Amino acid sequence: MIAVRFVALAVVGALMLAAFGATDLQPSARTLAVTAIIGLIAPLFWPGNAASPSLSAFRIVAWSAAVACAAAIALGIAGGTGQSFARILSACGMLLLILLATHAVAAVLEKSLQGRSGDAESSREIAGRAAMLSLALLGSLPLWLGPACELLSGGHPWIIDAAIGSSPLTHLAVASGNDLLRNPWLYQHSNLAALQFSYPGLADLGMAYASFLLLLVVVPLALLRRRRPIDGLSPTYPTMEQCK
């Protein structure tokens, strides 16, 4: 079942890249397009949680790594001599971090939905679609938050960098060596391109994703430990004689 989903992901990804014309782009834009498209559709094919939390965590890592490797292969095929190994490694490494965070959130959402409805199949599909839509909305932050950021930038100049830096598309662009807001379409449609801004650093992005993933691991463990009764202790109740 998981293999079928991966094959379907590869086929849909190839068709979307062909329709997008990724092979006709300049190298950094091509790297950005391939990783962004494959990363965006990956949650739709999310295979779902496993029987236990540990197996679910392994599935998140394995699925995310497999998708990132598929993107690397696609870049190797589509990129030709215009792609360096270091650039492919950087872009797919960032894609892996984004996918780990996305699929971890999808797994939590799926677990919550399944606990309420009891339907594992629909819970998985809803969680995957919600994760994909969230990625699309976050990725387009520099576009639809542009006017508000420009209005607020007078008193809060940091808000422009915050809007740009919050977008996963920006993260992939930084890892791909692409000046995102200088791409022709975004330059014409995003007013942020005409303002003063700076992209986040690659090391800072890596630390941010690592911290977020660590938080996703630590918080559930802390909650589980808090709910678990202390070994060797059992609740005691007063006897009838003690109550007299």
What does the pLDDT read at residue 65?
95
pLDDT above 70 for 236: no
- From the number of C-beta atoms within 10 Å of its C-beta (0-12, 13-18, 19+), residue 53 rates as middle
What does the pLDDT read at residue 241?
58
Note if the pTM is more than 0.75: yes
pLDDT in tens, 45-75: 999 998 888 898 899 999 999 999 999 988 8
Percent of the chain with pLDDT over 70: 86
pLDDT in tens, 86-111: 888 999 999 999 999 999 999 999 99
pLDDT in tens, 173-215: 999 998 888 887 777 777 777 777 888 999 999 999 999 888 8
> Phi and psi (nearest 5°) for 135?
-60, -45
Long-range contacts of 218-224 (CB under 8 A, 24+ apart): 220/53
What does the pLDDT read at residue 226?
65
What does the pLDDT read at residue 35?
93
Of residues 237 and 165, which shows the higher confidence score?
165
Note whether 142 and 164 are within 8 A (CB).
Answer: yes
Interatomic CA distance for residues 163 and 165, integer angstroms: 6
Which amino acid type is present at position 171? Answer: H
- Number of Cβ within a 10 Å radius of residue 132: 20
What does the pLDDT read at residue 188?
75
pLDDT above 90 for 119: no
Q: What is the DSSP string of 115-166?
A: HHH--HHHHHHHHHHHHHHHHHHHHTHHHHSHHHHHHHTTT-THHHHHHHHT
Q: How far apart are the first and last CA of the chain?
A: 64
Residue 79 in 3-state DSSP?
helix
pLDDT in tens, 139-179: 988 888 777 777 777 767 788 888 888 999 999 999 999 88
Percent of the chain with pLDDT over 90: 35
Note whether 164 and 158 are within 8 A (CB).
Answer: no
Per-residue pLDDT, averaged over 116-125, amounts to 89
The rounded mean pLDDT for the chain is: 83
How is residue 138 written in tokens? 């976050």
The domain limits of the chain are 2-225
Which whole-number Å values give the CA distances from 223 to 49, 107, 115, 212, 218, in the listed order? 19, 17, 17, 17, 9
